[in-house]
């Protein structure tokens, strides 16, 4: 019984760790919301969303790193440190939404044959 309780406690602590930004997938955002945008507006919005993705991904990466350090210290040296894992600072949902917005903007640019669509395809190696 004690092993089961320990396993459940460890699992719950591990789930409190912030995810690495590269492991967070984009949530679906419909490109229809950008149907009234012209190519210049799409380009500007892509720039804004791209900057926000970098900002949030950086914060998420830092939180993920901090959680990994706390987890290592907590498991090896001082188990009460595990209570400092950041359940509240995880920005996974925000990053997922922003990645989805970026994808939707890319789709809108392609649908409108905007010059930025060719740049996006070239930048992704395709």
Confirm if 14 and 72 have CB atoms less than 8 A apart: no
Q: Name the pTM for this structure.
A: 0.66
Q: Average pLDDT over the chain, rounded to whole?
A: 75
Q: Which residue has the tokens 């010059």?
A: 115
What DSSP designation does 21 have? Answer: G
Highest mean pLDDT among 43-47, 74-78, 112-116: 43-47
Confirm if 18 and 65 have CB atoms less than 8 A apart: no
In this predicted structure, the answer to whether residue 10 has a pLDDT above a threshold of 80 is: no
- What is the distance between the alpha carbons of residues 54 and 60, in angstroms, rounded to a whole number? 10
Arithmetic mean of pLDDT, 46-69: 84
């Amino acid at each position: 019984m004690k092993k089961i309780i320990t396993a459940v406690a460890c699992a719950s602590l591990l789930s409190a760790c912030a995810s690495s930004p590269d492991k967070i997938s984009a949530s679906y955002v419909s490109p229809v919301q950008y149907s009234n945008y012209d190519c210049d507006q799409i380009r500007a919005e892509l720039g804004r969303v791209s900057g926000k993705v970098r900002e949030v991904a950086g914060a998420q990466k830092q939180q993920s790193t901090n959680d990994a350090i706390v987890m290592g210290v907590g498991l090896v040296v001082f188990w009460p440190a595990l209570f400092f894992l950041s359940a509240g600072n995880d920005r996974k949902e925000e990053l997922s939404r922003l990645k989805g917005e970026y994808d939707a903007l890319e789709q809108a640019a392609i649908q409108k044959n905007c010059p930025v669509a060719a740049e996006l395809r070239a930048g992704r190696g395709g």
